[in-house]
Chains A and B, each alone.
Chain A
Amino acid sequence: MSLLKVVNLNVKFNILDGVVNAVNDVSFEINTNEILGIVGESGSGKSVTFLSLFGLIPQPPGEIISGKVIYKSENIFELNNKKLLKLRSEEIGFIYQDPLTSLNPVIKIINQIIESLVLSKNISKSDAFSEAKKLLNHVGIVDITNNYNSYPHQYSGGMRQRAMIAMAIANNPNILIADEPTTALDVTIQSQIIDLIKKLKNEIEMSIVWISHDLGVIAGIADRVIVMYAGYIVEEAPVFELFKNPKHPYTKGLLNSVPRINSNKVIDGIEGIPPDGLKKHVCCPFSARCSSVMDKCFNNIPPLKIINNDHRVSCFL
């Protein structure tokens, strides 16, 4: 069942050098209680898409040119500030890539959690304090070495990410946006955090959007995957279908770029470099790097076609 629906979202940034078309004609749905994986390289528009949905990109320089975001039969873009704030604090949770820069360095972690609880739940400070302790416990931070009385720099990377998760789930959100939540962490800590989020998903009924560039992480956690390139959705499919039967040459290229342990297959990579964001696309954005490019790829942008069930791909092939 669809929980949130995005229709024809276009976002651009007006910067000194020109216009960056960060998100181009993006339409998709988030279903209830699913994990939606978003894959793409840096600059593919994956983070901007989800930040812009909830009014989190600075305007200017950002500008939402067109699009609708339907959530609970309301268009989020038409909500007033107060309602938007309420929506963000009560129904959406965010986890960012770098917990050190997302936490305030001069406020104790527990006070940052209390602050958000007091604002969103309208409870007293002492209630919020015990609630915050419960939350930290829940995400695996126990008060041994005076952890509750610490500042962000006294936490390790993994613990900071746990604290961020505690804040994100404080109000039992309907949607949790996890923007590269494990990229800054070591692999053994990454496993811990993935395990924690999976555990929480079982307890709280929520949809998770997991943005990542790591195909391995996505393979392990997502139900459905969207592949983005140069601000376009190039392919969308259920996870098993996508890895078994990738259709878009970019998806295939990505899958062939990752070396696999215990496999002697030669990796290919993708020739060339990602496109310049300042250029406006009049043809398939991948045409310059595509190995099976045809004449018509240089004339039109291929539409996102449904090929079977939930599998959509934007390619003329």
Chain B
Amino acid sequence: MTTNKLIKIEDLKVFYDTSSSLFNNKKLYVKAVNDVSINIYEKETLGLVGESGCGKSTLGRAILGLRQLHQGSINFFENGEIINEKEYKKFNKKNNQIIFQDPFSSLNPRMSVGDIVKEPLDIHTKLKSIEKTDRVKKLFQMVGLDASLIHRYPHEFSGGQRQRIGIARALAVSPKFIVCDEPISALDVSIQAQIIKLLKKLQLELGLTLLFISHDLSVVWYIADRIAVMYLGKIVEVGAKKDIFHNPKHPYTKALLSSIPVPDPLEERKRTKIILEGDVPNPANPPEGCVFSTRCPNYETDCSLSEPMLSSINNKHLVACHLIE
């Protein structure tokens, strides 16, 4: 991890239009990402955690230019300088990639896995055919698959192997930045461990920057350098892994940490858990003031009056809560 910025996100809003009625002129938006500002640094793994519907995948896709921005900006840096709009498209395609959650629907069943991994090379490079095949074989070895398998089709592989193919495809154009969108949640526990180990190894070897989106905090603990916690379209806390796990400040982070089951019966039964009341509110109609106010155990009436800003409590540990000075 370095201190050079790779991506700077400012006041980002991504809304989904859900006003479907023909006669209703009132616009209804699901505020998937609502006022998010965050930096991603070169060669770091930023873990993005939150429950379903909190906007973490939307944020990941917005960074890759896959969602229309409602407001705000996303800037990329190269050698300390902002990439301008003209170069952005080319830069984005060559340097930013994604690994999807479901290895069954993210690979084209009619293409051989070799062709799947080769496709980015066909589009973005001018390599000769034989060079491409060499590169594909090399990529297969990098992700721990036998290079002789390139002529097979996706259905011949297990979930874990398919996820490896998805990783090889993402690595094909030697990207700098990869969004890993819940890359292991569709896999069995013993296979999950293989894939996290692989991602961690590749990140170190190739100097990648990863945005690791997950709902599983113990996995994020294993792989991330910094962690951002999202709730209802907002980042409520962000900081170094140590700060988030050892010194969580936001009541939501605390509740989230306390609800992860620990695979140790003695410890698991000793802990006191913070059990949050109720459900996550509808993102089309978020609560007034602090988004967490409806479920917060420390709620005070002032919390519904204004929205808390992300402010720093030390160096790089930021939290958005009124009750923390």
B-binding residues in A (CB < 8 A): 41-42, 156, 158-159, 186-192, 195, 213-220, 239-240, 243, 253-262, 266-271, 273-274
Contacts and interface: CB of A to CB of B under 8 A. Distances in A.
A113 B161 CA distance: 44
A189 B279 contact: yes
19 contacts: A186-B215, A187-B51, A187-B256, A188-B51, A188-B256, A190-B259, A190-B261, A191-B258, A195-B275, A216-B268, A217-B261, A220-B261, A220-B265, A220-B268, A254-B190, A260-B221, A266-B197, A269-B197, A274-B188
Contacts of B255: 188
Interface string B152-167: 0000001011000000
Contact of A219 (B196, B215, B268, B279): B268
Given A159-B279, A186-B51, A258-B189, A240 B197 contact: no
Contact of A261 (B51, B197, B218): B218
Contact of A214 (B158, B258, B261): B261
B222 A259 contact: yes
Contacts, number: 125
Given A186-B280, A270-B190, A274-B188, 19 more contacts: A156-B279, A158-B279, A186-B51, A186-B52, A192-B275, A213-B188, A215-B261, A216-B260, A219-B261, A220-B265, A255-B263, A258-B189, A258-B193, A259-B193, A259-B196, A261-B257, A261-B260, A261-B262, A270-B193
Contact of B190 (A218, A219, A253, A266): A253
A259 B219 contact: yes
Contacts of A213: 188-189
B264 A219 contact: yes
B77 interface: no
Given A261-B217, A273-B161, A240 B265 contact: yes
A260 B279 contact: no
A274 to B, nearest CB: 7
Identify whether the interface residues of B are mostly helix, strand, loop, or mixed. Answer: helix
Nearest to B242: A262
B191 interface: yes
A18 B263 CA distance: 37
B193 A257 contact: yes
A267 B261 CA distance: 17
Contact of A267 (B197, B215, B276): B197
Given A260-B218, A269-B190, A216 B266 contact: no
Interface in B177-197: 188-194, 196-197
A260 B218 CA distance: 6
A257 B219 CA distance: 10
Contact of B192 (A240, A243, A255, A257): A257
A215 B273 CA distance: 17
> 10 smallest A-B Cβ distances: which pairs?
A216-B261, A269-B193, A259-B222, A257-B193, A186-B51, A270-B190, A220-B268, A41-B188, A215-B263, A191-B259
B269 interface: yes
Nearest to A158: B279
B245 interface: yes
Given A156-B279, A158-B279, A195-B275, A269 B265 contact: no
A262 B245 contact: yes
A186 B256 CA distance: 10
A192 B295 CA distance: 13
A193 to B, nearest CB: 10
Interface in B38-57: 51-52
B265 A239 contact: yes
A269 B259 contact: no
Contacts of A253: 190
A220 B270 CA distance: 9
Contact of A191 (B158, B217, B245, B275): B275
Contacts of A257: 189-190, 192-193
A258 B218 contact: yes
Interface string B267-301: 01100010110011000000000000000000000
B275 A267 contact: no
A241 B246 CA distance: 29
Contacts of A219: 261-265, 268
A273 B156 CA distance: 13
B196 to A, nearest CB: 7
A192 B218 CA distance: 19
